């Protein structure tokens, strides 16, 4: 087995403070293999990925370590030799292709300049034919007209294929892929993943695949390295990691990941990973770990070999936290509640163009209805119309036996109170100049609740979303993403709604946080009898949270039914293709 990429004892620091961002990272990847570097946001995975190319972002410096691409050690090369290696020996596929392609340059030029920079091909003709060859391999058109396009004239999937073509253009021996499918629809993602898999094995490229999505890992990777607070805590072949995770953190990650192949209650975990400068001497996970004992804080655990290919850094290897052992089987046996919101024959559009056709849905008390679909399917338009945020729609919506007006301002206070909306991005939906308490009590002020009563209500809802009452005085920037989303949910709950519209509420969150939010929403639904419209593109999650599912495609509901049967036994071709395209841990492990 010949080595493609070997990272040895890599450490990168925050330049200003000397605190480590990542430390003791040692990873090796064989030619033609894919290693997934898994971690939550802030764990340092992109920092590692960029360091493989000898690149650091502003304010970050490489403290020590070696990166071997084949026989070449990258970090000790001169600046100009590193430049020659980048794109040639080792290349990079960025997370967001729409912002990583230069908007002012035609894609043909952006492809050609890599070849030119590395003197690849002896003539313009040779380079031209190489570009065509690459475009063919990533399944894009090869004609000159296509190459003369600008990035914005391509779809997201096409842009990412151009990114792949660029990365493979000079036949590198190592490639770093930084969440290349985040933001793509599942069917596009499936194509891109297939292309990556095929190209790496065909050309014998060692691939470092950075991601937070475990289902994608199961689908594409041969090996996995789990990064927590800048250190690799577990490393092994993909089967070991999913079927026999040894580190408590890995166990939690796996337990928190919803899966499309089976109904699974996802388990969340509170707290967050310590950031650079706040990391303890000992195991960084100890503060969140159910198994932690004082020894955990003494020193960073030594590597324990579970097998020749499976290593873990934990002194409690083999023990499993009780919370993960308790089998929480399918619990939501639901009794048909009375309908709270019925929408019939709703068409909606933008400036005269109808994008949603004849949508009818019924949401019952205590029930969670998931509205799923790919981007552009019209699901958000429907949810915004229900929330009274979208003006252009026709049809009827009946809420508690009262017909709803088109937009929120025209609706009665009672109707406005009864339907509350939680937005996708908790970073954008909370006013940074208001304290949490202010934001939450705002809806109460509008209906004229007096101050002392309002502050009592704030404490009450904060408790419902599992946040301490002291958070009322904090500002949003003092909170983590998960905490912000809890605040946003609390703000929706404070006016005691009947229907909660959740628009992709977990898609900006890490998987452990997502699981915790899903858990919270399920509890609220049970305890408060809330009806919930859960809008998402995340099919596996639907299985964990929803009672019923409506699948939308091109503005129409194409399939509707109980979550179990729609996802377990889809009837429509579109639903089937969606489910097939969704990567699954269980399916991959079989």
Partner 1 sequence: MPILKFIARRLGLGLLTIFAVSVLIFLVTQAFPSDPAQAILGRETTPEALDALRQELGLYRPAITQFSSWLFDIVRGDIGKSFVTQMPLSEYIAPRVGNSLFLMVVGAAFSIPISIAVGAFSALRRDKTFDKTTSTVSLVLAAVPEFVMGTGLILLLSTSVFHVLPAITLIDAGQAPWSDLSGIVLPVLTLVLAVTPYVSRTMRASMIEMLESDYVEMARLKGMSERTVLVRHALPNALGPVFQVIALNLAYLAGGTVIVERLFNFPGIGSALADSVRARDLPAIQFLTLMIAGVYVLMNLLADVATVIATPRLRTSLK
Q: Which residues bind partner 1 (CB under 8 A)?
A: 50, 53, 55, 57-58, 83-88, 91-92, 94, 96, 99-105, 113-114, 117-118, 150, 152-153, 166
Nearer of residues 150 and 300 to partner 1, judged by Cβ: 150
Nearer of residues 84 and 587 to partner 1, judged by Cβ: 84
227 pairs with which residues across the strands? 232
Nearer of residues 53 and 521 to partner 1, judged by Cβ: 53
Terminal-to-terminal C-alpha distance of the chain? 25
Tell the smallest beta-carbon distance from residue 87 to partner 1 (Å): 4
Burial class (CB in 10 A: 0-12, 13-18, 19+), 171: middle
Nearer of residues 169 and 192 to partner 1, judged by Cβ: 169
Nearer of residues 159 and 584 to partner 1, judged by Cβ: 159
Distances from the Cα of 198 to the Cαs of 34, 194, 207, 308, 530, in angstroms?
Answer: 11, 6, 12, 27, 47
Rg (CA), the chain: 25
CA dihedral 44, 228, 484, 473 (to 10 degrees): -100
CA 292 to chain centre: 28
* 103 vs 499: CA distance, rounded Å: 42
Listed in sequence order, the DSSP H helices in 21-171 are 45-51, 79-85, 97-100, 107-117, 124-137, 144-147, 156-168
Tell the smallest beta-carbon distance from residue 78 to partner 1 (Å): 14
Nearer of residues 113 and 564 to partner 1, judged by Cβ: 113
Q: Are 301 and 315 in contact (CB under 8 A)?
A: yes
* 432 vs 418: CA distance, rounded Å: 26
Nearer of residues 85 and 369 to partner 1, judged by Cβ: 85
Tell the smallest beta-carbon distance from residue 168 to partner 1 (Å): 12
Nearer of residues 54 and 373 to partner 1, judged by Cβ: 54
Q: Are 359 and 382 in contact (CB under 8 A)?
A: yes
What does the longest C-alpha to C-alpha distance in the chain come to? 79
H or E segment at 376?
Answer: none
Return the HEC string of 382-428: HHHHHHCCCCCEEEEEEECCEECCCCHHHCCHHHHHHEEEECCCHHH
Tell the smallest beta-carbon distance from residue 107 to partner 1 (Å): 11
Closest Cα to residue 258, out of 52, 517, 482, 486?
Answer: 517
Tell the smallest beta-carbon distance from residue 22 to partner 1 (Å): 18
Nearer of residues 112 and 264 to partner 1, judged by Cβ: 112
Tell the smallest beta-carbon distance from residue 159 to partner 1 (Å): 11
Nearer of residues 102 and 473 to partner 1, judged by Cβ: 102
Q: What angle do CA 516, 517, 518 make, to 5 degrees?
A: 90
Tell the smallest beta-carbon distance from residue 465 to partner 1 (Å): 35
Local structure of 225: helix, strand or coil:
strand
* 517 vs 132: CA distance, rounded Å: 47
Tell the smallest beta-carbon distance from residue 114 to partner 1 (Å): 5
Nearer of residues 1 and 16 to partner 1, judged by Cβ: 16
Tell the smallest beta-carbon distance from residue 103 to partner 1 (Å): 6
Q: Are 413 and 365 in contact (CB under 8 A)?
A: no
Tell the smallest beta-carbon distance from residue 41 to partner 1 (Å): 17
Tell the smallest beta-carbon distance from residue 77 to partner 1 (Å): 12
């Amino acid at each position: 087995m010949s080595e493609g990429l070997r990272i040895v004892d890599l450490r990168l620091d925050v330049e200003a403070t000397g605190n480590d961002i990542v430390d003791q990272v040692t990873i090796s990847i064989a030619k033609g293999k894919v290693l997934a570097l898994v971690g939550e946001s802030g764990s340092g995975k992109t920092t590692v990925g960029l360091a493989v190319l000898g690149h650091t972002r502003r304010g970050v410096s490489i403290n020590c370590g070696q990166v071997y691409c084949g026989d070449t050690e990258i970090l000790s090369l001169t600046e100009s030799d590193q430049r020659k290696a980048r794109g040639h020996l080792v290349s990079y596929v960025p997370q967001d292709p729409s912002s990583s392609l230069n908007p002012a340059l035609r894609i043909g030029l952006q492809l050609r300049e890599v070849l030119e920079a590395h003197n690849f091909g002896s003539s313009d003709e040779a380079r031209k034919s190489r570009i065509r060859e690459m475009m063919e391999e990533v399944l894009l058109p090869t004609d000159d007209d296509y190459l003369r396009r600008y990035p914005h004239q391509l779809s997201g999937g096409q842009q990412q294929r151009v990114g792949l073509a660029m990365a493979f253009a000079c036949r590198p021996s190592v490639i770093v892929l930084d969440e290349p499918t985040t933001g793509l629809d599942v069917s596009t993602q499936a194509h891109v993943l297939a292309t990556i898999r095929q190209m790496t094995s065909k050309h014998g490229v060692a691939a470092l695949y950075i991601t937070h999505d475990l289902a994608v890992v199961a689908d594409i990777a041969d090996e996995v390295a789990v990064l927590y607070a800048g250190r690799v805590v577990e490393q092994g072949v993909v089967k070991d990691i999913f079927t026999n995770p040894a580190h408590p953190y890995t166990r939690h990650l796996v337990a928190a990941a919803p899966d499309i192949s089976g109904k699974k209650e996802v388990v969340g975990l509170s707290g967050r990973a310590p950031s650079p400068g706040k990391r303890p001497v000992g195991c960084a996970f100890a503060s969140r770990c159910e198994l932690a004992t004082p020894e955990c804080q003494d020193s960073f655990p030594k590597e324990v070999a579970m097998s020749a290919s499976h290593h873990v850094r934990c002194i409690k290897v083999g023990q499993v936290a009780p919370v993960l052992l308790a089998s929480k089987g399918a619990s939501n046996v639901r009794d048909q509640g009375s309908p709270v919101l019925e929408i019939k024959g709703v068409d909606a559009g933008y400036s005269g163009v109808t994008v949603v056709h004849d949508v009818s849905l019924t949401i019952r008390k205590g029930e969670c209805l998931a509205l799923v679909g790919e981007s552009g399917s019209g699901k958000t338009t429907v949810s915004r119309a229900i929330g009274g945020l979208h003006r252009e729609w026709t049809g009827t919506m009946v809420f508690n036996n009262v017909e709803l007006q088109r937009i929120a301002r025209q609706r009665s206070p009672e109707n406005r109170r009864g339907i509350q909306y939680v937005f996708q991005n908790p970073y954008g939906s909370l006013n940074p100049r208001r304290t949490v308490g202010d934001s939450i009590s705002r809806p109460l002020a509008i209906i004229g609740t007096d101050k002392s009563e309002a502050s009592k209500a704030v404490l009450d809802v904060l408790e419902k979303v599992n946040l301490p009452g002291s958070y009322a005085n904090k500002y949003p920037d003092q909170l983590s993403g998960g905490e912000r989303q809890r605040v946003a949910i609390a703000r929706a709950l404070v006016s005691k709604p009947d229907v909660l519209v959740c628009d992709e509420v977990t898609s900006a969150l890490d998987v452990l946080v997502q699981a915790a939010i899903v858990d919270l929403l399920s509890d609220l639904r049970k305890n408060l009898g809330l009806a919930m419209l859960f809008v998402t593109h995340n099919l596996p999650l639907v299985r964990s949270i929803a009672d019923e599912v409506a699948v939308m495609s091109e503005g129409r509901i194409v399939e509707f039914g109980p979550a179990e049967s729609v996802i377990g036994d889809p009837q429509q071709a579109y639903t089937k293709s969606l489910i097939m395209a969704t990567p699954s841990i269980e399916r991959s492990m079989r």
